[in-house]
Amino acid sequence: MESLPDAAVLATRLKNTLIQYHSIEDDKWRVAKKMKDVTIWRKPSEEFNGYLFKAQGVIDDVVNNIIDHIRPGPCRLDWDSLMTSLDILEHFEENCCVMRYTTAGQLWNIISPREFVDFSYTVGYKEGLLSCGISLDWSEKRPEFVRGYNHPCGWFCVPLRDNPNRSLLTGYIQTDLRGMIPQSAVDTAMASTLINFYGDLQKALQKA
C-alpha cells in the first residue's frame, strides 16, 4: 500500500506556492512563444534544472466550465490531445485526489510516452478558481512508460471584469520529463504544447 500524503498539509503548501508564482513580477519572465490569443513565458525553475512556464490567454466561457474541463475527470480525456489515459487512484474529498495519467509521445516520438502520478487540488481563488497539482513519488511503475515528475503547477481562472462570460486563464507548469532527452527539446515541446492546450480547450468548450 502506498503511503498517501497528508492531503490538507500538501494542499495548503501547494496553493501557497502557486499564489507565490502568480505574484512574480513581469520583468522576471521572458516570452517563449506568442500567438494571437495566448502568450507563453518562461523563467528558470527553482525546483529543478529546467524552466517554470507561464501561460496566459482569454477563454470564451465561465470559470466553472473551464476548470471542470481542466481538473481530473472524464472531461479532460475527451479533449486533451496529449493525454492518453487518466485514472483517479484515491479521493480525499470532492476537490482533492491522487490521479495517474499517461501522455502521448511528442516531437516525432523524440519524447516517448510518459506516466505521471499527481496530487490534485481545486480551490476558490478571488472571484474564480485555482486547480493545482504536484507529482508524488509513487513506487508502483509501469515498464512501458518513463515516469515524469510535475513540480508545483496549476491553473488560475478568473472572470473578466467587463465580461464575466469570458475568463482569464493563467497556468504555471514545470514538468521534468526525465529520461534521456535534451532540455532544449523539452522546452520547445512545452511552449507548443501549452499553446495547443488553449486551442483544444476552447474547441471543447464551444462543443459542450
Contacts 24+ apart (CB under 8 A), 135-144: 136/5, 136/98, 138/2, 138/98, 138/100, 139/2, 140/2, 141/115, 142/115, 144/113
- CA distances for 139 relative to 6, 135, 149, angstroms: 17, 12, 13
Average pLDDT, the chain: 91
Q: Are 24 and 42 in contact (CB under 8 A)?
A: no
Q: What is the mean pLDDT of residues 160-179?
A: 94
Q: Which residues contact 187 (CB under 8 A, 6 or more apart)?
A: 32, 42, 50, 51
According to the model, what pLDDT value does residue 5 have?
A: 66
Predicted confidence (pLDDT) at residue 2 exceeds the cutoff of 60: no
- pTM for the model stands at 0.93
DSSP letter assigned to residue 2: P
Q: What is the pLDDT of residue 1?
A: 44
Side-chain-side CA neighbours of 192 within 13 Å: the count stands at: 10
Q: Which residue has the higher pLDDT, 183 or 30?
A: 30
Cell of 42: 518562461
pLDDT, average across residues 164-181: 92
Amino acid at 192: S
In angstroms, the CA 98 to CA 7 distance is 10
Identify the residue with better confidence: 189 or 152.
152
Q: Which amino acid is at 187?
A: D
Beta strand 163-173 pairing with 153-160: antiparallel
pLDDT in tens, 56-92: 999 999 999 999 999 998 889 899 988 999 999 998 8
Please check the confidence at residue 160 and state whether its pLDDT lies above 80. Answer: yes
